[in-house]
Amino acid sequence: MRLRLGLVLLALALAAGCASAAEDQFGKLAPGMTPAQVAKALGEPEHIKRVRFPGHKRDYLVMEYTMVPEVPT
């Protein structure tokens, strides 16, 4: 459960600076989603890796996406 929650929180954090179209995409995410559900909602990620954050005892699955704004900023 913590792995999934970490995945969703990381995805939301990465979306913080993106355009509204990207925000709409990340609005499809919810806590507790499996990696397969995230991929179905957002498409296949560019990269997938396991990361252990300082102070944590387990690895987290990180799915990386690049969101390009429709209107350049």
pLDDT values of the chain reduced to their tens digit, one per residue, 73 residues: 667 766 666 666 655 554 566 677 778 889 889 999 999 988 899 999 999 999 999 998 999 988 776 666 5
H helix or E strand, kind and range, residue 47: strand 47-51
Q: What is the pLDDT of residue 1?
A: 63
Q: What is the pLDDT of residue 15?
A: 54
Q: Is 63 helix (H, G, I), strand (E, B) or coil?
A: strand
Q: What is the pLDDT of residue 28?
A: 87
Does the CA dihedral 54-55-57-61 come out positive or negative? negative
* Residue 48: closest CA among 65, 71, 66: 65
Q: What is the pLDDT of residue 49?
A: 94
Does the CA dihedral 27-31-32-36 come out positive or negative? positive
